[in-house]
Structure 1
Amino acid sequence: MVVAWISWLSLFSIWSLLCTAIEDLQVEPQNSTVLRGSDARFNATLQGTWQVMTWTVGGSFVLTATPAEIISSSQMFSARFCSSSCVEFTIHNVSRSQAGPIICSVQAGYTPQTAQLSVQESGTVRITSGNVTVMQAQQVEFQCETTAWFPIPSVSWNLNGQAVDSSFYNTTSMADGHFFNSTSVLKIKTASSTKVECMATLPTLKTPQCSSVFLVVVPKPPDWTVLIAVVVSFGGIALLVLLIIGIIFIYKYRKEKKTKLPR
């Protein structure tokens, strides 16, 4: 019984040590999403003494830190002590090839901690038609193309600064290698000149990418068909009246001429 009790005590001690080790090192944030070309930062907080800390990006050791110094393999990686028990690790000018697990390891009993890095990338936005001139009440179609985005961007339209209901446009996307391209088609019928904007954005973009053109609406020319028909009708009636008057005049003239002839 004593042996069994000691065995259970030993297992409990080991389990307690493992749980303590897991809590000794924390990396935050656990998930980070940044825009390509920006900086990604991770904080490692420790409890207890430590000698050597390493950071791994893309399967390669990129930085080593001790309580006395920081050694980096490249200017793309740096670190600073945010407190005696905290190290801030920074990846500068992040590229998409660095997306994935970011591992912090500390020697002497600390369990390695892993964070996930996601990298988004903004491309270009272009309304292909350029400025358009149409007549009133005419339907017009605009096409907006987004190129080289990751992941698929959110595309929307504005008319004179006001958001367009999504029922008026349709957006399709397709993969192109490691990027996504999208095409959005807007169909509208407007009565006045309008500024048309196509915008694409990602969660990490502070300001959407935008392309704009102008829709110039000119007054519809008058429909002369009815007026011409009326003029022709009145002209025909007038001509007929003149013809009848002429016939009557000729008839009277001939009749008067006959009465004046000697018998």
Structure 2
Amino acid sequence: MDRCHKWIRLTLGLLAVLSDPGFGSSIIEGPRNLTVLVGSMARFNCTVSEGWGVLIWLFDGNPRLTLVSDGKFYASPRYSQQNYTNGNLFTSELMITDVQQNDTGQIKCSIQNEEDNMYAYLFVQVNGSLTIKDSNFTIRENQTIKVVCEALGWVPAPYIFWMENNISLNNSMYITNQSPGSNGLYNEESILTLTPMASVNVTCLAAITTLSRPQNATVTVTVYQPAQNEPGNKQDGRVRTIILAVVLSVVGLLLVIFIILLIICCKRRREPNYQKEMNRNLAQNKTTNRNLETMSHDGNENYGYNPEETMYDTVQMRGNATVRPRFYGPNQDANVTPVSEVHYDRQHDEALPSRTTAYPVHPRKTRNVTLV
């Protein structure tokens, strides 16, 4: 009911001002863009020359506060004003308390003169939550860990960075991913990869322009040296390195031996093939020689036979001449029939079948000749 009365008085005031002959002042300086943090107060100034009758503040085209030249004003909840006078200039300061995210929009100052409407924009930022997911970090020396920082419900998306013992870390050590949330808010997740040599304090910070100091979350990373018998310590690492070196050496030696044996086997395999080929060639040569010998000798040859000696002996026998003695070696068998025992048939010059004369022959073969 009170609100209805205020709007009625505001309307009557506007009608009175519009009927005022002094209506015709101008805006000297209008409001300026402003960015505030949610929950804080927003302030805008509008300066006009004297002679104004009514000054109206509008949000996205809707009246939020009406000020009459007599000092009275009518305003919506959370909207108020205070004014200042400097000579013939009048300044109205609009104040919006407990600014919310939906207060982002256009703020206009108007004195009912279309040419003198001045406006600005209000931007409301929201600082959400910032947490480190795991708060227990107890690791071995030289162990690599990942620290995850989560920022939820921010407007705009915050700028996240990391510090170690109050010293900023290089941005190559962490990765930040952004995702949209509900109601126009933004979520971010930043992952820091760290390999500390000693215990350190790690801080995740999120910054937006309206925050005087970045919001932060800190966690302590405790580093301890492993015991001698604990798996993964330096001694075990050295032992594993030595074992690996020995295994690689043995494998390399076995590989060399295998290669040598393979080369030897290949050589041995080639040598029998070569020997077989030589034996095959020799066998073929022997077969060829044997065939040639068989073709040239039919078994009736007397290698001790001398045609000249035979001819000489025949002539001597026909002339009843004494047969020339022959000389034989010590190992030869000189089986010779005396000439006196040889009979001839001078008419037919044929040897009698009953008489047989043995001639000296080659030591290996014996030839029987029948004489007449």
- Name 2:130's counterpart in structure 1: 125
In the superposition, the TM-score normalised over structure 2's length comes to 0.53
The code of the aligned residue for 2:190 comes to S
For residue 116 of structure 2, give the secondary structure of its aligned residue in structure 1.
Answer: coil
Shift of 1:106: 0.3
What is the 5 A alignment of 1:73-92? Answer: 73-83=75-85, 84-92=89-97
Q: 1:46 to 1:168 in 2, by over 3 A?
A: same
Higher Rg of the two aligned structures: 2
1:176 has 2:181 as partner: yes
Q: What does 1:126-145 align with in structure 2 at a 5 Å threshold?
A: 126-145=131-150
The alpha carbon displacement at 1:161 in A equals 1.0
SS of the aligned residue for 1:167 comes to helix
Does 2:191 correspond to 1:185? yes
SS in 2 for 1:85: strand
Query: Partner letter of residue 107 of structure 1?
Result: Q
How far 1:158 sits from its partner (Å)? 1.0
Partner SS state of residue 97, structure 1? helix
Task: Note if contact 2:125-2:156 (Cα within 8 Å) is conserved in structure 1.
Answer: yes
Which range moved further: 80-89 or 104-113?
104-113
User: Does the Cα contact within 8 Å between 1:142 and 1:187 map onto a contact in 2?
Assistant: yes
Matches within 5 A, 1:145-164: 145-164=150-169
- C-alpha separation between the residues in 2 aligned to 1:90 and 1:124? 28
Aligned residue for 1:28, secondary structure, equals coil
Question: What is residue 216 of structure 1 aligned with on the other side?
Answer: 222
- CA distance in 1 between partners of 2:235 and 2:169 (Å): 36
The residue type equivalent to 1:213 in the other structure is V
The number of equivalent residue pairs is 208
CA separation in 2, counterparts of 1:186 and 1:61?
A: 49
Which of 201, 207, 211 is matched with 1:201 structurally? 207
Q: 2: distance between equivalents of 1:70 and 1:216?
A: 65
Q: Does 1:24 align with 2:27?
A: yes
Aligned-partner Cα distance in 2 for 1:221–1:179: 48
Give deviations 1:82-130, integer Å, cap 9, x for gaps: 2251111111111121111101110357521111111110000000011
Q: Tell me what 1:241 maps to.
A: none
Query: How many angstroms apart in 2 are the aligned matches of 1:157 and 1:72?
Result: 49
* Alpha-carbon distance, 1:49 to partner: 1.3
Which residue among 27, 45, 48 is the counterpart of 2:47? 45
Which ranges of structure 1 fall in alignment gaps of 5 or more residues? 1-20, 228-263
Stretch deviating more after TM superposition (99-108 or 178-187):
99-108
Whole-angstrom distance in 2 between the partners of 1:92 and 1:210: 27
Find the aligned partners of 2:185 and 2:114 in 1 and give their Cα distance. Answer: 42
Q: Which has the higher strand share?
A: 1
Question: How big is the shift at 1:146?
Answer: 0.2
Name the residue aligned to 1:54: 56
Aligned equivalents of 1:142, 1:95: Cα separation in 2: 33
Q: Contact conserved, 1:39 with 1:90, CA < 8 A, in 2?
A: yes
Rounded to whole Å, the distance in 2 between the matches of 1:150 and 1:168 is: 25
Question: Is the counterpart of residue 100 in structure 1 residue 105 in structure 2?
Answer: yes
**Mapped partners of 2:61, 2:177: distance in 1:** 36
Question: Deviation string for 1:27-49 (max 9, x for gaps)?
Answer: 132x1111111111111011231
C-alpha distance in 1, partners of 2:110/2:227? 77
What amino acid sits opposite 1:97 in the alignment? Answer: N
- Summarize the Cα distance change of 1:28–1:59 in structure 2 as closer, same or farther, 3 Å threshold: closer
Which structure exhibits the higher relative contact order, with contacts defined as CA atoms closer than 8 Å and separated by 6 or more residues?
1
Point out where structure 2 has 5 or more consecutive residues left out of the alignment: 1-23, 229-233, 240-372
Q: Percent identity?
A: 29
Q: Is the 8 A contact 2:25 2:48 kept in 1?
A: no
Listed one character per residue, the Cα deviations across residues 38-62 of structure 1 (whole Å, up to 9, x for unaligned) are 1111110112310001111133211
Shift in CA distance, 224/102, structure 1 to aligned 2, threshold 3 Å: closer
> SS of the residue aligned with 2:52?
coil
